Structure 1
Amino acid sequence: MSQQILVTGGTGFIGQRLLLKLKELSKPSVSIGRKLAASVFSDEHYVIDINSRSDYSSILKRNSVIIHCAARVHVMNDSLNDPLEAYREVNTAGTLNLAKQAVSAGVKRFIFVSSIKVNGELTIVNKPFRFDDERYPEDPYGQSKSEAEEQLLKLAEDTGLEVVIIRPTLVYGPGVKANFVSLLNLVSKGLPLPFGCIKGNKRSLVSVDNLVDLIVTCMDHPKAVNQVFLVSDDNDISTREMVQQMAKALGKSQWLLPIPTTCYRLVGKIAGKEDVINRLLGSLQVDITHTKDTLGWKPPQTLEDGFKQTADAFLKNKLKD
């Protein structure tokens, strides 16, 4: 029987794009998701939760590689009484439950799609996070991912399972949700926007296609074993530049009002939204030198092409509405 690639989170944003790439490469795949979807791109799909109790043994028998994309995702202003335990149940205990069963099933390699939040929330301009920096998660989501990384590497040491950890920055691409698409929608209206002065910060982004390309590279690369890889488009931009790039991709002229950043900070303080303002004005950069040098890899898609692809999909979707 041929060996399959198992993808968790197979109906999610990253998982769907990854399964399409595996199909393009003629790689047999099986996926796990919390629901059935209209479009499932794997050869087989199973509806099963990622947690500390699920039994995956019947699914794992013919898999040589697991690519673990599923997670309890970061939620702004989480209203749960104990959000850390909710994140841990899926992202830490659920991940380890799957990995331990993978060892028992003879799976060779376990690729864990983690998060840059393991490193922290913000960086100083031109002092990016590195792969070997001390972990410094600041929220329950980042903490649960950090704990999963540590336990996976310990499991690798104890059992010989080949673990690969990938920490993406903000991932965008066709079908992206949340803040990125909200900003894209705002820019698409062609109205004056107050981002003219937010030009001193730097953000690392990664297109979903670049992330998928790195994941596929890590499936069998001998130098990927037990390594941590940061990933981005390798082209850091300010908030102002991001809005300008969106406008260009959408074919919109953009008038950016020069609102001083001090005004943002004052409004954030009054409204109790200082964390939101810090993300808007702050920097989050990653150094992917280790990723490129270790794997002989570079992002195949430029940031400009990634934004254009995302904008085209956004506009096409708007025409359907």
Structure 2
Amino acid sequence: MMERLAILGAGGFIGNRAVEMLYLGGRHEVRPVVRAAQSLALASRFPLEGRVADGRDEAALAEAFQGCSSVLHAIAGDLQTIVGSIEPVYRAAQAAGVKRIVYLSSASVHGQSPAPNTTEQTPLSRRQPIAYNNAKVEAEERLLSLRQQGGVEVVILRPGIVHGPRSFWVGGFADDLLAGQAYLVDGGVGICNGIYVDNLVHAVALAIASDIADGEAYLLGDSETYSWHDLLAPVGEVLGYPLAELQPPVAEEPRGILRRLLNDGTLKGIARRFPRPIKAALKAGMREMAVSRAGAAGQGAASAPPVASLEMSLLHRCAWKLQHAKATRELGYEPVVTFPEAQRRTLAWLQFAGYPVNR
């Protein structure tokens, strides 16, 4: 008898591919779970019983998980959703009698440019400059804490940059090329710690089946070492935009970083404790930046060079290839799709999706 797997976030890029591969693989009875009914559109190609449940609605989740032995937590959302979905999902899984949760975290818990010799054992920090990283670290910590108190097993997967058909990293870059906004920091010579989406789903299946993975975290990636230029140059080539002709970006200004940290909530808790004069100074600075941006827009800012965010600057300058030796040793993970084949499939998807591919 096949085990039933609930895929939470089944309408997203990774979740939908997991539905496709695991259902067609014939080893799992798949139940897509999405936040809104329209997100079941892709999964409806298959004879599956989908469920609608918000990732923070414990009661709805418990009902959606009934009869499932495993749950894949593949929700992609804002910072509040990343952290706020952890306890409801775990409590719901426990109420439904689920055996195991496989949680899709991110290699970004180690930073966008990890230090040499970084492994799963490297201590994590919630004081990173990228709020997404901190949210994922907190989510992992909460999940493992719940595991210590509860009976539902937990396996954490830390994939790198997940690429392939429908990926933000591919489609978004193609869109930016067509809009004249694409860039690579330092030509994209830094290492891309990437993983083709099918390789990630393969790892998910292994994590579900493993007898020794409970409570463990696993870094995941492709076998090959490749740069950001290697990943994206073929996209530029088929669209007729050689990456050598891209306008070099300028670095994000310190005040831009501050504005982003304030907007995404990274400094929100700290700012509450600031003395009143400092709060007033920050507000004044934000007003000044708003005026400055408005003036720049009126002077033709659209022709200005692209601005490289801190996140992209770190990613494009990465110098360390994360290893998945632990996943190989304990899960039996070996990528099932090579990087050249992943590139071929991705470029074919660009044409299928209607991008103006050179023929």
Alignment partner, residue 286 of structure 2: none
For residue 256 of structure 1, what is the amino acid of its counterpart? A
Looking at structure 2, the residues matched to 195 and 51 of structure 1 have their Cα atoms a distance apart, in angstroms, of 37
Q: Are 2:180 and 1:208 aligned?
A: no
Length, aligned pairs only: 297
Deviation of the 1:212 alpha carbon? 0.5
Please give the per-residue CA displacement for 1:168-192, whole angstroms capped at 9, x wherever unaligned. Answer: 1111111123x43233456799x9x
Deviation of the 1:310 alpha carbon? 0.9
Alignment partner, residue 15 of structure 2: 15
Q: Are 2:36 and 1:58 aligned?
A: no
**Bigger helix share:** 2
Looking at structure 2, the residues matched to 277 and 300 of structure 1 have their Cα atoms a distance apart, in angstroms, of 28
Looking at structure 2, the residues matched to 160 and 62 of structure 1 have their Cα atoms a distance apart, in angstroms, of 16
Instruction: Return closer, same or farther for 1:103/1:291 CA change in 2, 3 Å cut-off.
Output: same
For residue 57 of structure 1, what is the amino acid of its counterpart? A
Alignment partner, residue 297 of structure 1: 333
Q: Are 2:36 and 1:39 aligned?
A: no
Q: Higher mean Cα deviation, 214-223 or 131-140?
A: 131-140
Alignment partner, residue 155 of structure 2: 164
1:207-286 superposed matches below 5 A: 207-246=196-235, 250=238, 254=242, 256-257=244-245, 264-265=249-250, 268-269=252-253, 272=256, 273=307, 274-275=309-310, 278-279=313-314, 281-283=316-318, 285-286=321-322
Instruction: Return closer, same or farther for 1:271/1:292 CA change in 2, 3 Å cut-off.
Output: same
TM-score, normalized by length of structure 2?
0.72
Please give the per-residue CA displacement for 1:3-45, whole angstroms capped at 9, x wherever unaligned. Answer: 4110001111111110111211222111111222422146111
Contact kept in structure 1, 2:192 and 2:226, CA below 8 Å: yes
The SS at the match of 1:59 is helix
Q: 1:110 aligns with which of 101, 104, 109?
A: 101
Q: 2:146 aligns with which of 148, 155, 174?
A: 155
Instruction: Return closer, same or farther for 1:269/1:158 CA change in 2, 3 Å cut-off.
Output: closer
Deviation of the 1:200 alpha carbon? 4.5
The SS at the match of 1:112 is strand
Q: Identity, % of aligned pairs?
A: 21
Q: Are 2:154 and 1:183 aligned?
A: no
For residue 354 of structure 2, what is the amino acid of its counterpart? K
Instruction: Return closer, same or farther for 1:25/1:210 CA change in 2, 3 Å cut-off.
Output: same
Q: Are 2:104 and 1:134 aligned?
A: no
The SS at the match of 1:55 is helix
Q: Are 2:36 and 1:48 aligned?
A: no
RMSD: 3.2
Alignment partner, residue 114 of structure 2: 123
Please give the per-residue CA displacement for 1:62-94, whole angstroms capped at 9, x wherever unaligned. Answer: 010001101315xxxxxxxxxxxxx23x22232
Structure 1 gap ranges (5+): 74-86
Instruction: Return closer, same or farther for 1:194/1:271 CA change in 2, 3 Å cut-off.
Output: farther
Deviation of the 1:306 alpha carbon? 0.9
Alignment partner, residue 69 of structure 1: 74
Looking at structure 1, the residues matched to 337 and 206 of structure 2 have their Cα atoms a distance apart, in angstroms, of 15
For residue 314 of structure 1, what is the amino acid of its counterpart? L
The SS at the match of 1:287 is coil
Please give the per-residue CA displacement for 1:90-129, whole angstroms capped at 9, x wherever unaligned. Answer: 22232211111211222111100011222222235xx253
Q: Higher mean Cα deviation, 140-149 or 220-229?
A: 140-149
Instruction: Return closer, same or farther for 1:316/1:223 CA change in 2, 3 Å cut-off.
Output: same
Structure 2 gap ranges (5+): 257-306
Alignment partner, residue 260 of structure 2: none
Alignment partner, residue 265 of structure 2: none
**Structure number, greater radius of gyration:** 2
For residue 326 of structure 2, what is the amino acid of its counterpart? H
Instruction: Return closer, same or farther for 1:141/1:281 CA change in 2, 3 Å cut-off.
Output: closer
